[in-house]
Amino acid sequence: MLDYKKEKLLLKASNINLKYDTRQILRDVNFEIFNVTRPDVIQGQVISLIGRSGIGKTQLFKILSGLIQPTSGTVLIGEEQRPVVAGEVGVIPQNYILFKHRTIYNNLKIGLANSGRKLSENEAKDIIEDHAKQFDLQDHLKKFPAQLSGGQRQRVSILQQVLTGNKFILLDEPFSGLDPIVKDKVDELLMKVSHLNEENTLIIVSHDIINTLALSDTAFILAQEPGKEGATITEVVDLMAMGYAWRPGIKADHTFLDLVLNIKSKL
């Protein structure tokens, strides 16, 4: 069995409802995210919200990041459990949007500039170049976003949010539109981000069950209950308790694949 402890509450979503006109998109969404600690390992949390296309994942993503307000319900974050405000949660939207008029370097710089840290030009440069190297972007700093591939843009987008200094980073469909090899690289990358800080918490919103579960320590299944309108959390999958968390190569495990099939049938 894996050795870990669930500690402080980091995020709590309570009774989130979202309606557009009379159409209920989200209904009574409730979940909690705790800081998970492991002896001798600096490790953040990786949480996933899994659901089929069109169920309301992106809407929930925007609510969690404070970009839109739910019709009712609250999202509280941090030790103090304050209501979330846009800017306190890093977001990587589905199409990895970047400032197209800025070079990659300057896109990263604007993330760092809003981190609240007082840095000289040279210190900023060192931090950016150092991170760029870690994320395999050092050769692209002078380019513009339009000159990068989707996978590279995604890395810039993630790094931009990491440099902003947010502990929470939300990713909307980070695996969509990437080929299998790049998907594995995204795995590695997200693990790297997770290991940067004990409290780093990645929340992945996705319909790609296998890739998302393989990374996660906890997964929430977003689906409709029979006869009721609007999506809600229908199941919590504790991958730590099941022994699937933090295991590279888990995608080849037969029992894990059974779990994936089982979840697929419930979406």
Partner 1 sequence: MPTPKVKAADFFLPFGRIGKSAAGILLAGELILALVAWQLSGGGLLPTPSRVLTSMTKILSESYFFDNFFSTLGLVLQAMGLSIVIAMVVSYLYLIPVFTPIARFIMKCRYLTLTGLIFLFTLLTSNGHSLKISLLIFGIVPFFVTSLVSVIDSIDKAEFELCKSLRMTNWEAWWEVVILGQLDQVFEVMRQNFAISWIMITMVEGLNMSEGGLGAMLIKSNKYIDLGSVFGILVIIFFIGVCSDYLLGMLRKWFFPYTTFNTRN
Ligand X SMILES: Nc1ncnc2c1ncn2[C@@H]1O[C@H](COP(=O)(O)OP(=O)(O)O)[C@@H](O)[C@H]1O
- The verdict on 144 binding partner 1 (CB under 8 A) reads yes
- Bridge pairing between strands 218-224 and 5-20: unpaired
Element at 163 (helix H, strand E): helix 150-164
Q: Under the criterion CB under 8 A, does residue 201 sit at the interface with partner 1?
A: no
Say how many C-beta atoms besides its own lie within 10 A of residue 76's C-beta: 16
Applying CB under 8 A, among 41, 42, 86, 257 the residue interacting with partner 1 is 86
* 147, interface contact from ligand X, partner 1, Mg ion, none, CB < 5-8 Å by kind: partner 1
Q: Which is nearer to Mg ion, 55 or 237 (CB)?
A: 55
What minimum distance in Å lies between the beta carbon of 218 and ligand X?
19
Q: In the complex, which residue's CB is closest to Mg ion?
A: 58
Residue 58 found at the interface with Mg ion (CB under 5 A): yes
Residue 87 C-alpha from the chain's centroid: 15
Reduced to 3 DSSP states, what percent helix, strand and coil does the chain have, rounded to the nearest 5?
35, 30, 35
Look at residue 218 and give its three-state secondary structure: strand
- All residues at 6 or more sequence positions from 122 whose CB lies less than 8 Å from its CB, including other chains: none
In the list 93, 138, 185, 251, the residue contacting partner 1 (rule: CB under 8 A) is 93
User: Among 54, 87, 177, 248, which residue interacts with partner 1 (rule: CB under 8 A)?
Assistant: 87
**110 interacts with, out of ligand X, Mg ion, partner 1, none, CB within 5 to 8 A per kind:** partner 1
